[in-house]
Structure 1
Amino acid sequence: MSSEEKRTWISAVVGAVVSVTYLVIILSKVAGADVATIAYVGPMLTSIGVGIGAAIVLAIVAAIASPKDADRTDERDREINRRGEYVGFYVMSIAAIVPLVLAMAKAEHFWIAHTLYLAFFLAALASSVVKIVAYRRGW
């Protein structure tokens, strides 16, 4: 497994675990509550920070575990990365329409922020899935 594939797996797993955990915790508070009163900004920023930090630390650990492959990338890795990022861009572009519409409809900030958070999560997940499939099934 190449170092790029390892980093892709790390990003996918960390992103999914952190995002799903955050959304389950916050959305469990929505039932029967006024969403304007739910304190979500701190936990959202914390989840973003934890996700970034965990991905960096785990990528460093993976690089230390196999130092000969740590910075080795080839044309295949670059092309797989490019394809995954394109898919992520398109998913984000489409998914960002929902928070835009919510903002135009003057929805609560809670819903706008969370649909945007979800759009970023879906884009990152789609990008990672495309990359992993390309690595596993061949390019």
Structure 2
Amino acid sequence: MSFEEKKAWAYAAIAVIGYSVYLAMVFTAGSFRPLTEVDYAPLMLATIGGAIVAGILTGIAIAVAAPKNERQADQRDREIERLGEHVGQAFIVLGGVGALVLAMLQSEYFWIANLLYLGFVLSAVVGSAARLAAYRRGMPTP
């Protein structure tokens, strides 16, 4: 397994775990009241910050464990990275458009923020899945 493929696995796992922790905390805090009354911002910031730190530390750990010659990305790695970014960006756009619609409908901030967060998480997970599929099955042909 290449260095970049290991990073893709790690980032997908971190995104899923971080979002799962966030949802568990929000649902626990809102168990006896409406979700829109939960003070979600500190929970969201903490899980996003934790995911960023976990991603950095995991990237460092993977780099330290990998032989020096394996850390160099080749042309295939760069193409797979670009594919993952393109696939993942679609979910950022969808989350942004959805949040815009919710704002126009004057929805609670809770729903707007959570839709944006979900868009970022889906971007990370689906983008990583596209990278992993490309590593396992090869790049899609036009």
TM-score normalised per structure 2: 0.89
Task: Give 2:110's aligned amino acid.
Answer: F
Query: Counterpart of 1:120?
Result: 120
Change (3 A) 1:101 1:31: farther
Query: Counterpart of 1:106?
Result: 106
1:128-139 alignment runs, 5 A limit: 128-139=128-139
Give the length in aligned residue pairs: 139
> Structure 1 residues 36-45 or 129-138, which shifts more?
36-45
Q: Using the TM superposition, give the Cα deviation of residue 71 of structure 1 relative to its aligned residue in structure 2, in angstroms.
A: 3.0
SS across alignment from 2:83: helix
Query: Counterpart of 2:13?
Result: 13
Query: Counterpart of 1:39?
Result: 39
* Mapped pair 1:82 → 2:75: no
Task: Give 2:124's aligned amino acid.
Answer: A
Change (3 A) 1:58 1:48: same
Structure 1: any 5+ residue segments left out of the alignment? Answer: none
SS across alignment from 1:96: helix
Change (3 A) 1:93 1:62: same
SS across alignment from 2:39: coil
SS across alignment from 2:106: coil
Query: Counterpart of 2:91?
Result: 91
Task: Give 2:47's aligned amino acid.
Answer: S
Q: Using the TM superposition, give the Cα deviation of residue 38 of structure 1 relative to its aligned residue in structure 2, in angstroms.
A: 1.1
Q: Distance in 2 between matches of 1:85 and 1:98?
A: 20
Please provide the CA RMSD for this pair: 1.6
The question of whether the paired residues in 2 share the 8 Å contact of 1:18 and 1:51 is answered with yes
SS across alignment from 2:33: coil
Structure 1: which 4+ aligned runs deviate by more than 4 Å? Answer: none
Q: Using the TM superposition, give the Cα deviation of residue 136 of structure 1 relative to its aligned residue in structure 2, in angstroms.
A: 1.1
Change (3 A) 1:57 1:37: same
Q: Using the TM superposition, give the Cα deviation of residue 98 of structure 1 relative to its aligned residue in structure 2, in angstroms.
A: 1.5
Deviation string for 1:54-110 (max 9, x for gaps)?
111111111111232453100000000001100111222123221111111111111
Structure 2: any 5+ residue segments left out of the alignment? Answer: none
